[in-house]
Amino acid sequence: MVRTIAACSVSSSRSGWIRRLFAIRVKQGQCVALADGRLWTIKSLLRRRRKSRSLTTFEASLPDASTALSLAAKWIDGRKGQQGEWLIVMTNSPNAKAAISAYKNRWAVECLFADAKTRGFNMEDTRMTAPDKIDTLTAILAIAVTWAHRCATRTMGLKAIKRKVHGRREKSWFRTGLDALRAWITFAPQNAVRAWQNQFPKRFKIP
């Protein structure tokens, strides 16, 4: 879940909570204080910035808080027919560029959660509460997700999944593999076994 801070005033307890974080996404309406003490919304600071793929960084702090913060903003182009938006990350590290990279890795975790739950194996539907049983189920899910991704690699090789007219891909990498795994287990189990056992070339990022 993306945590956002929308208030212009922050209590001391919340500022202490922020110091324990490394990188969080914030909205354009977030108020920050610059070195001269003046308050600005991030939207105002970005108004004259060029909307490009290059990073925009600046130093600031939260109102009524002394913790120095670094902010990094990057313009994300929208899909066909959709408006783009700023990706703004606030961090307590002086390296704002690293904060963007750290936040990017977070999306891989979010995709993994979705694969294990609503978009894939529906883990939450089990309604398990016993820790030992949850541990066992999580281990099984880890194997299943890995197997599905290996099936996708066997199916697609180094090719990218096609995009539709609206710009989104026909299927996710996980869904491609899961569909193949289901079919192979039923009709061609030897393919499912090979997908698990065989080594595949490392995939490079394909746009």
Residue 98: predicted pLDDT: 84
Q: Are 42 and 62 in contact (CB under 8 A)?
A: no
Q: What is the mean pLDDT of the chain?
A: 81
Structure confidence by residue, pLDDT tens digits, 100-134: 888 878 777 888 888 888 888 998 898 889 999 99
Distance between CA atoms of residues 53 and 68, nearest Å? 25
pLDDT score for 80: 66
Within the chain, which residues score under 50 in pLDDT? 1-14, 206-207
Q: Quote the pLDDT of residue 203.
A: 57
So what's the pLDDT on residue 162? 85
